[in-house]
Amino acid sequence: HILVLPKRAVSELLDLTQNEYSELWEGVRLAVTAINGAYKPDGVNVGINIGEAAGASIPDHIHVHCIPRWKGDTTFLTTVAEVRMIPETLTSSWENLREHWPSTQL
């Protein structure tokens, strides 16, 4: 599960400048590329919760969720509720994703 967020804290997608918007979606593209290379999932959920009523856990800073999914996952809640997990340390996840990140910015 990777969160991609703009450098500037904004609560609404429409508050981003064109450059921030472009950078955000480029970050999403890079994150999905790394997830696909590192974990070979059957699919990837990409989503944004805008506002507290929509489930935003950090309502003052918009962010995009990129979550690997495999056949047999039945709902989005299996990933959110950590019902199905890959036993891996954060350090291992970082190293695996970094190895597959298509940019040299890391």
Query: Catalytic annotation on 63?
Result: yes
Give bridge partners of residue 44 from the DSSP assignment.
Answer: 68
Q: Which two tokens stand for residue 80?
A: 């959110």
Helix/strand/coil for 97: helix
Q: How far apart are CA 20 and CA 24, in angstroms?
A: 6
User: Which entry of 1, 61, 63, 100 is annotated as an active-site residue?
Assistant: 63
90 burial class (0-12, 13-18, 19+ CB within 10 angstroms)? exposed
Residues assigned a catalytic role: 63
